[in-house]
Amino acid sequence: MGFHATVFTLYPEMFPGPLGNSLSGKALKQKIWSLKTYQIRDFAVEHHHSVDDTPAGGGPGMIMKADILARAIDVSQTEYPCFLMSPRGRCFNQSMARELADLEGATFVCGRFEGVDERVIEARNLIEVSIGDYILSGGEIAVSVILDSVIRLLSGVMGNVESEYNESFENGLLEYPQYTRPQVFEGRSIPQVLSSGNHRAIAEWRKSQAEAITKARRPDLWSVYQRKHGKA
Ligand code: SAH
The pLDDT of residue 165 is above 90:
no
What Rg value do the Cα atoms of the chain yield, rounded? Answer: 22
Residue 143 CA, ligand 1 centroid: distance in Å:
11
pLDDT in tens, 1-31: 799 999 999 999 999 999 999 999 999 999 9
Average pLDDT over every residue of 155-174: 82
Average pLDDT over every residue of 61-69: 98
Ligand 1, pocket residues at CB < 6 Å: 85-88, 110-112, 114-115, 130-132, 134-136, 138-139, 142
| Closest approach atom of ligand 1 to CA 134 | 22
State the DSSP string of 23-92.
HHHHHHHTTSEEEEEEEGGGG--STT---EEPPTT--SS-EE-HHHHHHHHHHH---S-EEEEEEEEEEP
The pLDDT of residue 232 is above 70:
no
End-to-end CA gap in the chain:
45
Average pLDDT over every residue of 155-167: 77
- In this prediction, residue 61 has a pLDDT band, given cuts at 50, 70 and 90, of very high
| Closest approach atom of ligand 1 to CA 130 | 23
The pLDDT of residue 166 is above 90:
no
Between CA 38 and CA 169 the distance in angstroms is 33
Average pLDDT over every residue of 51-60: 98
**Residues present in the chain in total:** 232
Looking at ligand 1, which residue's alpha carbon is closest to its atom 8?
A: 87
Task: Say what the pTM is.
Answer: 0.96
The pLDDT of residue 48 is above 90:
no
Residue 209 CA, ligand 1 centroid: distance in Å:
36
Edge-to-edge strands, sheet with 105-109: 33-39, 3-9, 105-109, 82-91, 127-130
